[in-house]
Amino acid sequence: MSFAIALLLVLALLPRSSQIAPAKDALAFLNEVSQRYADAKSYHIEAVEEQTSNNELMRSWQKTVMTAIVMPGGRYRYEGRSRAGTAVYISDGIHEWDYLPDQKVYIQQAPAREDSSKKRMHLPDEIAALNAKSVVSVLAHRADVLKSAVFLPDETVSVGGKSVECYVVHSAGDDFKVQHLDTTRESTVWIDKSRKVIVKILDREQPLSNRVVNGRLPSATESTVVYAVVEFDQQEPDKTFTFAAPEDAKLVEAFSSPLAPGPHFDVIGKPAAELRLKSADGTVTKLSSLRGKPVFLDFWATWCGPCKGLVPDLLKLYAETESKGLTWVGIDNDENPDAATKFISQSHIPWPNYHDLDGSMGAAFQRNVIPLGILVDARGNIAFYQSGYEVSELRAAIAKLGPEFGSVAAANTNATGPN
């Protein structure tokens, strides 16, 4: 018997769980799979995410259902449903429709040259649909936050009622590029062996202690996403990208929001309100203690598409202004601070962020909508206050702070980031 035949017989007799994935580095393999999503021009993905968060005094669970269908020619259909509501975004390349089934209202408009979802405020109903829009982008950049990974034994998992044989890629602890001081995390990705697509992801974060932070017990979180449908270069019927308004649905120019701005808040030139910025280690910094240098306050949340859409340009602006003396402060409005912490890590946001758990910081500045950008000059007076601001507007305001910032206004401000 030849050596080659003998080797094949040995491999065949090995337990299935011992036959570990491709003969390559696990992270390189995950990058290869992720690249398929980055290169995708046409795709149909359906996913269900389940998230749990718990500590000794609390347990929560939520489910999000998402569909993302994209074809060339500006055609797409994004649907999302969660406890916050349901929304559908459709484009046939000629018209765009944003539809809120629960409120029975929709918007119709011509396709915008830039992503129009970055230009307007969003309702809670739209959170799941916005997540659907980012599904492919998230998977395309799945490996970016890792510096290493390992293969676990192959597994057969149930996806959409079918058994799927999978390679399993796992990362934990030091495998992540950014380390959290107060939590440990791990990530497991199941990849269909025959199609080389991701069919399941499990992310876990565990607090290192039960020490109360900002008046809250830390929580362990777990997120499982199952991708029941993953198709590339598919053909979709034309009806997928058309919208037939139900008889009881009303066409409106804009969605009305309980977060709509109130009466004009004239604060330019007036002293900024005092804030007590409490970090994870309990250290409290008063906003007034930063006087002597200008400060930019960014009020945001992970469920806010326009907020996340600003991040790439804000990162560029930070690189230009931090060394000139501008202090940056983020203040998120997430119900679950862990969601903000995760997004900050994934986006490599360098400025400090604080959780507005009780809404008091937003109330101090009469925040009604986000994103809200506030620029405080070196004397402690408000120089810029704008909800739903453009980075170009912020640049213009920063340029007026002094000659050292004069070059800031001339930089390129085209938005490039995903929702």
Please give the pLDDT value at position 397: 94
Task: Find tokens 């002293």 and name the residue.
Answer: 271
pLDDT greater than 60 at residue 350:
yes
For the ranges 88-102, 103-117, 172-186, 336-350, the lowest mean pLDDT is seen at 103-117
For the ranges 92-106, 142-156, 296-310, the lowest mean pLDDT is seen at 296-310
Which one of 250, 268, 288 terminates a domain? 250
β-sheet with 327-332: strand ranges across: 353-355, 327-332, 295-300, 372-376, 382-387
pLDDT greater than 90 at residue 302:
no
In a domain, 265, yes or no: no
Claim to verify: residue 211 and residue 328 sit in the same structural domain: no
For the ranges 86-100, 149-163, 377-391, the lowest mean pLDDT is seen at 377-391
DSSP state of 8: H
Angle, vertex CA 46, rays to CA 40 and CA 50, nearest 5: 125
Claim to verify: residue 187 and residue 334 sit in the same structural domain: no
Please compute the mean of the pLDDT values over residues 226-230 and round it to a whole number. 98
In a domain, 148, yes or no: yes
Please give the pLDDT value at position 261: 44
pLDDT tier for residue 170 given thresholds of 50, 70 and 90: very high
Contacts for 192 with CB less than 8 Å, ≥ 6 apart: 164, 165, 166, 198, 199, 230
Claim to verify: residue 317 and residue 384 sit in the same structural domain: yes
Please check whether residue 205 is in contact with residue 183, taking contact to mean a CB–CB distance below 8 angstroms: yes
Please check whether residue 90 is in contact with residue 76, taking contact to mean a CB–CB distance below 8 angstroms: yes
In a domain, 186, yes or no: yes
In a domain, 266, yes or no: no
- Please state, for a pLDDT cut of 90, what percent of the chain lies above it: 55
Of 257 and 307, the one with more pLDDT: 307
CATH (domain of 221) = 2.50.20
Q: What is the pLDDT of residues 40-60, one digit of tens each?
A: 999 999 999 999 989 888 889
Claim to verify: residue 243 and residue 288 sit in the same structural domain: no
Claim to verify: residue 302 and residue 229 sit in the same structural domain: no
Amino acid at 82: S
CATH (domain of 298) = 3.40.30.10
In a domain, 370, yes or no: yes
Q: What is the pLDDT of residues 369-408, one digit of tens each?
A: 788 999 999 999 999 998 878 898 899 999 999 999 988 8
Claim to verify: residue 128 and residue 223 sit in the same structural domain: yes
pLDDT greater than 60 at residue 18:
no
pLDDT greater than 60 at residue 21:
no
Please check whether residue 151 is in contact with residue 25, taking contact to mean a CB–CB distance below 8 angstroms: no
Residue 291: CA count within 13 A, CB half-sphere: 12
pLDDT greater than 70 at residue 117:
no
Please check whether residue 203 is in contact with residue 176, taking contact to mean a CB–CB distance below 8 angstroms: no
Claim to verify: residue 291 and residue 240 sit in the same structural domain: no
Claim to verify: residue 381 and residue 280 sit in the same structural domain: yes
Q: What is the pLDDT of residues 61-84, one digit of tens each?
A: 999 999 999 999 999 999 999 988
Rounded CA-CA distance 233/313 in Å is 31
Rounded CA-CA distance 353/367 in Å is 17
Please give the pLDDT value at position 228: 97
409: phi > 0 → left, psi -120 to 50 → alpha, else beta; which? alpha
Which one of 235, 250, 265 terminates a domain? 250
Please give the pLDDT value at position 5: 44
Rounded CA-CA distance 222/219 in Å is 10
Claim to verify: residue 89 and residue 201 sit in the same structural domain: yes
pLDDT tier for residue 282 given thresholds of 50, 70 and 90: confident
Domain count of the fold of the chain: 2
Claim to verify: residue 242 and residue 303 sit in the same structural domain: no
Which one of 250, 267, 297 terminates a domain? 250
- Please state, for a pLDDT cut of 70, what percent of the chain lies above it: 85
3-state secondary structure of 375: strand
Rounded CA-CA distance 128/149 in Å is 29
SS (H, E, C) 288-345: HHHCCCCEEEEEECCCCHHHHHHHHHHHHHHHHHHHHCCEEEEEECCCCHHHHHHHHH
Please compute the mean of the pLDDT values over residues 89-106 and round it to a whole number. 95
3-state secondary structure of 149: coil
Average pLDDT of the chain to the nearest whole number: 85
Claim to verify: residue 234 and residue 290 sit in the same structural domain: no
Of 14 and 146, the one with more pLDDT: 146
pLDDT greater than 60 at residue 234:
yes
Rounded CA-CA distance 217/210 in Å is 6
pLDDT greater than 50 at residue 259:
no
In a domain, 170, yes or no: yes
Please give the pLDDT value at position 161: 92
pTM: predicted TM-score of the whole model, two decimal places: 0.67
Please give the pLDDT value at position 212: 64
Q: Which of 200, 85, 92, 197 is nearest to 131 (CA)?
A: 85
Q: What is the largest CA-CA distance in the chain?
A: 89
In a domain, 1, yes or no: no
pLDDT greater than 90 at residue 235:
yes
Domain that holds residue 384: 276-410
Claim to verify: residue 238 and residue 308 sit in the same structural domain: no
Please compute the mean of the pLDDT values over residues 112-141 and round it to a whole number. 73
In a domain, 418, yes or no: no
